[in-house]
Structure 1
Amino acid sequence: MSEVVLDIQSLTKTVHKQKNIVEDVSFQMQKGEILGLLGPNGAGKTTTIRMIVGLIKKSAGAVFINGYNMDENAQKCRAQIGAIVENPVFYDYMSGWKNLQQHARMAVNPVSKERMEEIVRLVQLEHAIQDKVKKYSLGMKQRLGVAQALLHQPALLILDEPTNGLDPKGIRELRDYLRELADQGISTLVSSHLLSEMQLMCDRVVIMESGRIIDETVIGDLDAADTAEDRVVAFQCGTGQQAQAKKLIESLPGIEILDLEDQQTFVLKMQAEKIPYINKLLVQASIDVYAIERKKTSLEEKFLSLTAADNATLQQEVQ
């Protein structure tokens, strides 16, 4: 039976003039799950996170951590949360180890030296933990931030834009750390605008737009769509041959032309076994085929489609 670590129920934030900047947001997180909270700037992601961790007061709704209501058991709930909201802050003139010690002193429960050493190994900072933080790279600071958030053994880790300023190597390292934590049963809520990275990192994503949830997607469902019987395939033909190819293909049964990407490329939806047939048909018609590429469903494409549709709906409601 799955274990619910985070349960958000109808979370709402109202500001001046009765405007809702977050409205009726509800979702759950399971133990060991990595959940992405996605949305364009101003969608309400950071406001939602701030309400979850208690940095700002919510206007309505409820937050439950491992079954405890944040309103009724705030101390118990916060003891189970480790969070980095925006950029982690350190004493630059102190070493990484002394920063961890300072953070450990503020923990609700005692943090042993053995626990600190364990966390340092987990985030792979053994080689630099005695160096002053001012010498750290952005990636190292992010890892130290994760270490701070994990010191008190939380059940839930919340990271707001944790990849900001990281190079590709640092982003991949962070992704690997979060997956290792998930394997240990720690749930992670990640807010980000890097959609391709979220598709690699997360088990599931919640998409927000204008303060509301507009979609929830299981990443495995996107991958399953790529292995379905119908495939989306791009064919690149010779210059000036696209129209001829389109005319040849559009009359064929069971094949749908989805897009003409440029002057040479067209995208088809078709069964996988028909790909060699289409290739042969084009070659026999003296149409040059330079490339055949299977198009994977991307989180970015779905995100852009959903947010565009939601914006159109909002504009109609205003009118």
Structure 2
Amino acid sequence: MSEAVLDIQSLRKTVHKGKNIVEDVSFKMHKGEILGLLGPNGAGKTTTIRMIVGLIKRSSGSVSINGTDMDEDSQTCKRQIGAIVENPAFYDYMSGWKNLQQHARMAIDPVSDERMQDIIKLVQLEDAIHDKVKKYSLGMKQRLGVAQALLHQPSILILDEPTNGLDPKGIRELRDYLRELADQGISTLVSSHLLSEMQLMCDRVVIMEKGRLIDETVIGELDQSDEQKVCIVAFQCRVDQIQEAKALIEADSEIELLHIEKEQTLVLKLHEATIPDVNKKFVEAGIDIYAIERKKTTLEEKFLSLTNTRNMTDIKEVQS
């Protein structure tokens, strides 16, 4: 794994009466990686992002950008970050080009017109860049916001809920832009509540709850089990044979019947290597199998499993 471009260690934010709204959060992001920051409302995602970009002060902990500590050289670190926290702000009566020019004037280093043209092409706003922003759709405004964040050539892009208000086409376009940026070596930290979209967009996700980091998952390994490749498989048979199939499975101690879908599909938890044997068992019993589908674990399922488990633990601790 390459050196971390963003290194967060033991981040904590304490507010009135000593309450920690972010506590002991540590994670790293690598070059060209899209890292998702997930969590239910109030988990501390936006507070964490605000501390990273310097909008609010950290109570403790450290933030390093490309090996430089934010406390030791904040100006160098901030030059490496492009961010959209909440909704990007524009002058609606000005064109997209004029908005980018205005933003470029505030940059520490000069931004050339050539650089602006390259960014406009990247976010595919060439045909609308000289139109007034008030005519832009939400998706176009989001793309213009990404363009603003990229003007000063940052190595890290930080986006807080960038898909808010976007239609499916706009979300797909944003996903494609971020992947193109990743291919160019730009790393992106993105927070969102759209779990299915995050599964498609990200290389890896970290999950927060109640101010703490509770899990880290590589998307490509989401469906891999540590229990000798235990998996979930759906076997579809005739409705009039479902009870016979159910009895056959319940007689096998190595297979767990999770539930029955639509009165004709048994959803089973079993070892991957035993799928052919189970199918053979059905056939030998005269049960017609019309479809076999391995069900992949989704990010949403894992997220809900983690947060629900922790909530139940909290309830039990209170009761005890």
Normalising by structure 1, we get a TM-score of: 0.93
User: Within 1, Cα distance between the matches of 2:285 and 2:36?
Assistant: 47
CA-CA distance at 1:290 after TM superposition: 4.9
Provide the residue aligned with 1:155 in structure 2: 155
CA-CA distance at 1:203 after TM superposition: 0.8
- 1:298 alignment partner AA: T
Residue by residue, what CA displacement relative to the aligned partner does 1:106-139 show, whole Å, maximum 9, x if unpaired?
0011000010000000001101101111111111
Provide the residue aligned with 1:70 in structure 2: 70
User: Within 1, Cα distance between the matches of 2:266 and 2:149?
Assistant: 48
Pairing 1:118–2:118 present: yes
Partner-residue secondary structure (3-state), 1:117: helix
Pairing 1:216–2:216 present: yes
Provide the residue aligned with 1:51 in structure 2: 51
Provide the residue aligned with 1:34 in structure 2: 34
In structure 1, stretches of 5+ residues that fail to align are none
- 1:171 alignment partner AA: I
Pairing 1:294–2:294 present: yes
Q: For 1:234-249, list aligned pairs within 5 A.
A: 234-239=234-239, 241-249=241-249
- Retained in 2: the 8 A contact 1:225–1:297? no
Provide the residue aligned with 1:176 in structure 2: 176
User: Within 1, Cα distance between the matches of 2:22 and 2:176?
Assistant: 31
- Retained in 2: the 8 A contact 1:22–1:47? yes
- 2:103 alignment partner AA: H
CA-CA distance at 1:275 after TM superposition: 4.2
Normalising by structure 2, we get a TM-score of: 0.92
User: Within 2, Cα distance between the matches of 1:27 and 1:310?
Assistant: 20
CA-CA distance at 1:66 after TM superposition: 1.1
RMSD: 2.1
Q: For 1:1-319, list aligned pairs within 5 A.
A: 2-224=2-224, 230-239=230-239, 241-252=241-252, 254-261=254-261, 263-270=263-270, 274-275=274-275, 278-279=278-279, 281-282=281-282, 285=285, 287=287, 289-319=289-319
User: Within 1, Cα distance between the matches of 2:10 and 2:22?
Assistant: 10
CA-CA distance at 1:25 after TM superposition: 0.4
CA-CA distance at 1:65 after TM superposition: 1.0
- 1:23 alignment partner AA: E
- Retained in 2: the 8 A contact 1:202–1:219? yes
CA-CA distance at 1:291 after TM superposition: 3.8
- 1:27 alignment partner AA: F
Residue by residue, what CA displacement relative to the aligned partner does 1:81-118 show, whole Å, maximum 9, x if unpaired?
00000111111111000000000000011000010000
Partner-residue secondary structure (3-state), 2:126: coil
Partner-residue secondary structure (3-state), 1:63: strand
User: Within 2, Cα distance between the matches of 1:84 and 1:294?
Assistant: 39
Q: Which moved more, 1:109-118 or 1:239-248?
A: 239-248
User: Within 2, Cα distance between the matches of 1:300 and 1:285?
Assistant: 36
User: Within 2, Cα distance between the matches of 1:304 and 1:242?
Assistant: 29
- Retained in 2: the 8 A contact 1:36–1:192? yes
- Retained in 2: the 8 A contact 1:240–1:263? no
In structure 2, stretches of 5+ residues that fail to align are none
Partner-residue secondary structure (3-state), 2:222: helix
User: Within 2, Cα distance between the matches of 1:317 and 1:66?
Assistant: 42
- Retained in 2: the 8 A contact 1:10–1:23? yes
User: Within 2, Cα distance between the matches of 1:222 and 1:125?
Assistant: 35
User: Within 1, Cα distance between the matches of 2:273 and 2:71?
Assistant: 58
CA-CA distance at 1:260 after TM superposition: 3.4
CA-CA distance at 1:222 after TM superposition: 1.5
CA-CA distance at 1:34 after TM superposition: 0.6
Q: How many residues align?
A: 318
Partner-residue secondary structure (3-state), 1:310: helix
